Structure 1
């Protein structure tokens, strides 16, 4: 007896197109993404960038989080023996003033954890801004450089390559580049019983990008590429 098909971003878009009775060309006209790109996504040969996912969700009237994960169906999920091999080339990249995120394995739906690779760039709490908080727990492991972890209830801790930390994500936290380093890189996993975890993370990214845009001098914004 075969198991149920594993939900992917491609199957989500294919199902959405079928429910609306659209051809690939009609869906392309609706969302502004080329037919060839949509075809590759539907066949799970390509993922979409963060900006393209934003464009898709906005034009099709969907929430961004729906493109990263689906709500669980009632009842236990069947064993699918699924697997996914990831790298930065196939990740969804999200750049904020404090981190350069690569969300991995975004083609898989209904994940119980959110794997991410991130380059840390902020060097002080003043540069970072307010500590971030979101549902769930998270684990991060340093793969390059050194980071200083600031939290609500503990003194700052410096982690070197090979060291890691597991924290309650509802506690305010910030990962900074430690003194003596120009940049650092971590890999991590975030998990929560809250179905809205991905949406919470996306909202945080937009807040950080919005704060950055608001504090960028007008002359610099005018010179920025369009």
Structure 2
């Protein structure tokens, strides 16, 4: 476990031990909920002055955050069902396509919401890749254009 990840986990343990929500910590120290969530999970690093502010809010000396413990992060706190943009992690679906899953891992779904980023072909001779599957699909084009072939019809999708 990296030092940043260990410190983030320690902050979460202390915060939950004080029965403080991440939103309450956010309001008390002036850092966003999204940033604190990423920090506690080891996704983001943090500046030492912000870490000192967190330590003060939690009522512990800054050095306490650097002490290794065997404590585990409590699991009583329910997961946030809302997916925030800064939490999206891309996965490469193909050479020209990245996807972001727009739901929390622990939630059920009838429709799997995903955001795709389609990269343009690298050169004129490169053929855009085709994507096909059975079932329903919901498309909402934010930028650019997509050619959709549905059964025997061709649709040009614009924003």
Q: TM-score range by the shorter chain?
A: 0.3 to 0.5
Larger relative CO (CA 8 A, sep 6+): 1 or 2?
Answer: 1
Quick check: which has more Rg, 1 or 2?
A: 2
TM-score using structure 1 length: 0.32
Normalized per residue, the structure richer in strand is 1
Q: TM-score, normalized by length of structure 2?
A: 0.42
